Amino acid sequence: MSFSWPGKARLAMSFVINIEEGSEMSVARGDKGPEPVDELGVALKIPIRNYANESNYDYGIRAGARRVFGAFEKAGITTTVTAAAQSLETAPQLAQMIVAGGHETCSHGWRWVHQFSFDEAREREFIQKAVDSIAASTGTRPYGWLSRYLHTDITRRLLAEMGFEYHMDDFSDDTPRWDVVETSNGMTPIVIVPYALDTNDMKFWLAPGYTPEQWLDYAVATFDRLYDEADDGVARLMSLGLHLRIIGRPGRIGALERFIDHVQSKPDVWCASRLEIARAFASAVPAPVTA
C-alpha cells in the first residue's frame, strides 16, 4: 500500500505510555484475587490483599510518572497515553500531566481487566464508561482503543458504532490498514494502527535479568531497520510501549532517554500520536467502498 507520512517523513515513531496503575485487580476493589502481574512473578490465587504488589503499582504514580513524562517534556515530544479510565479517576495528577503535555489519551478500558468474557451489553457498558470517564478526567473523549491482551469478536464493531477512529489490538504489521465491520449503521470502516509487544518495556518484568542495555539495543535495532527500509517507499511506523512503574525506575529511565536521543538524531522522523497517525493514514488512503 503506497502512501506517505506528513512532510514525507521516512518513519512514524509512536511512543505509547500505558497507565494501568490504580486499575489493576485488587481484593480492595471487589475482585476475587490480587493482580498476578508483578515484578517478582508472584501469582497469588487466594482472596488476600497483596499490599506489596499494590505498592509496586503505586510507584508508577508516585515516582515513575514524573520521570517518564519529564523525559518527553524535555524532548518536546507528545505521545499517546493508553489509560485505564479508573487510573485517571484515582490519580487525577496523571490526567493533569497528560493534558499539560498535550498527549493523546487512548482508552485502555475502564479498568485494566480482561473483557473477553463480557457479553455484548456488558462490553458496551464497559466501553461507554471508559469514554465518559476519560472525557471527564482529560476534557477529551478517547478515539482509540487498546484492550488488556484479548478482546471479543464484537469489540471492533462496538468501537466503530461508538465513534472510535482506530483500534490497536493488532500486532500484524508495521503500517496501518483499514478494516470494515458490519455495524448497526451498515458497513463501517475503522483504522487499525498496529501495536508491538517485542519492543515493550514489560520484558523487564517477564524476563528475569533483562537489562536496560538489552532493551535499548533491541529498540535501536528495530528503529534503525524500519528507518532504513523506508527506501522501498512503504510508510512504516514503530511502536514503543512503556509503563510508569517499569521504565520509570531510576536504573531504566536512562535507556528511554537515550532512545529518544537516537530517534531525534535522525532526520525525517515523525514523532506522532496514534490518533495523528490514524488520521494521516485515513487522509492518504481512501476508506474501502462499502455497499
For residue range 85-98, what is the model confidence (pLDDT) as tens digits?
999 999 999 999 99
Cα–Cα distance between 171 and 173 in angstroms, integer?
A: 6
| pLDDT one-digit tens code per residue, 15-30 | 999 999 999 988 988 8
131, 141 contact by CB (below 8 A): yes
Would 190 be classed as within a structural domain? yes
Would 220 be classed as within a structural domain? yes
Cβ neighbours for 260, distance < 8 A, ≥ 6 positions apart: 71, 72, 75, 77
Q: What residues does 236 pair with on adjacent strands? A: 11
- Does the pTM surpass 0.85? The reply is yes
Would 131 be classed as within a structural domain? yes
Would 1 be classed as within a structural domain? no
Q: What is the CATH number of the domain that holds 67?
A: 3.20.20.370
Range of the domain at 203: 6-284
pLDDT on residue 46: 84
Would 267 be classed as within a structural domain? yes
| pLDDT one-digit tens code per residue, 247-287 | 999 999 999 999 999 999 999 999 999 999 999 999 999 99
Would 291 be classed as within a structural domain? no
pLDDT on residue 10: 97
Would 289 be classed as within a structural domain? no
Cell of 260: 529518544
Would 133 be classed as within a structural domain? yes
pLDDT on residue 247: 98
Please give the chain's pLDDT, 291 residues, in tens: 689 999 999 999 999 999 999 999 889 888 888 888 888 777 788 888 988 889 999 999 999 999 999 999 999 999 999 999 999 999 999 999 999 999 999 999 999 888 888 899 999 999 999 999 999 999 999 999 999 887 888 999 999 999 999 999 999 999 999 999 988 878 899 999 999 999 999 999 988 789 999 999 999 999 999 999 998 989 999 999 999 999 999 999 999 999 999 999 999 999 999 999 999 999 999 998 776
Q: Please state the domain count of the chain.
A: 1
Cα–Cα distance between 174 and 177 in angstroms, integer?
A: 10
